[in-house]
Structures are given as structure tokens and as C-alpha cells.
Amino acid sequence: MVSFIRQKKHGEPPMRTTSNIIDLLRKHEGVSRYVYEDHLGNATIGVGRCVQTNIGLGLSDDEIDYLLNNDIGRCVNELRHAFPWFMGLNIARKDALISMCFNLGMTRLRGFKLALDAMARKDFEEAAEEFMDSLWSKQVGIRAFELTEMIRAGDYI
């Protein structure tokens, strides 16, 4: 039997959760990767986690960080597989592309062919100009400016 350790309030000993209760809750609550309405019409996700504003638990800071770290990892993996030159970038330029991948998704990011070609050639000035010359830059405003400056300068602004 697999057990998971769950911390209680500060100062209390950890409580063990068995796979039996996990299996039972998954069976009774169901499992959903996407938000759905429960039988009361409340926004719910995962295994019965109500995320409805004002009545639901929402997500804890740790859960938000967990999801964010998973998404960043996914973006890094997608970028390094799609662009052999990605891992050779400095950290600021990598982070700029990770942010863009996170925002746009890989499919739409790949649409910036001229900018990405310039990145591959290490022509960061041209890459920044190409990224800025887009509908995306108009839609996200200051985010586009910050990210393209990181690409251009190779540093955080």
C-alpha cells in the first residue's frame, strides 16, 4: 500500500494518507484535468476541488507554484527540442523565450519564423525587431517590450 505524507498545521505531526482513500476519492469524485461544473454548478477541477470564487478552496500558493514549475519545464523541453540553439542562449534570452512559449504556446511561437531565424543566427537586434513587429506585441504591450529588450540586450531590464 502506497502512503503519502500530508503536513497538518504548523507544529502538528504529519498525517499519512493511504492509496485506499485516494482511490476511493478518485472513484467517488471523478478526475478531471479541466474545469467542469459540479452537480451544484460550481467550477471544479482535479478530484473534486471546487475553485468557484467565494465558495471554493481555489489553489494554495504551493499548488500554484507546482503548476507553474511544471509549465516552465514543459516550455523548456519544447524549446530545446524545437530549436537546437536554445540551450546555447544566456539565461535572460532563454527566459524571454520561455515566457513567450508560456504565453503563446509552441505552435504560435513557431509562427515567428523571421525572429526565430535571427535568434538562431544570434542576430538579437533583428530578432527583437521581428518580435515587436507583430500583432502579439500589440496585444501584450509592455510584456512584449520587456521580453524583446531581454532578447536584444541579453539581460533583464
Out of 3.65.10.10, 2.60.120.620, 3.90.76.10, 1.10.530.40, which CATH number does the structure's domain 62-153 have?
1.10.530.40
Q: Give the DSSP H/E element, type plus range, for residue 20.
A: helix 19-29
DSSP 32-50: EEEEEE-TTS-EEEETTEE
Q: Is the pLDDT of residue 5 over 80?
A: no
Q: What is the pTM of this model?
A: 0.82
* Per-residue b or e along 85-103, where b marks 16 or more CB atoms closer than 10 Å to that residue's CB: ebeebeebbbbbbbbbbeb
Q: What is the mean pLDDT of the chain?
A: 92
Contact 42, 56 (CB under 8 A): yes
pLDDT in tens, 63-92: 999 999 999 999 999 999 999 999 999 999
Domain ranges, ordered by start, for the chain: 3-58, 62-153
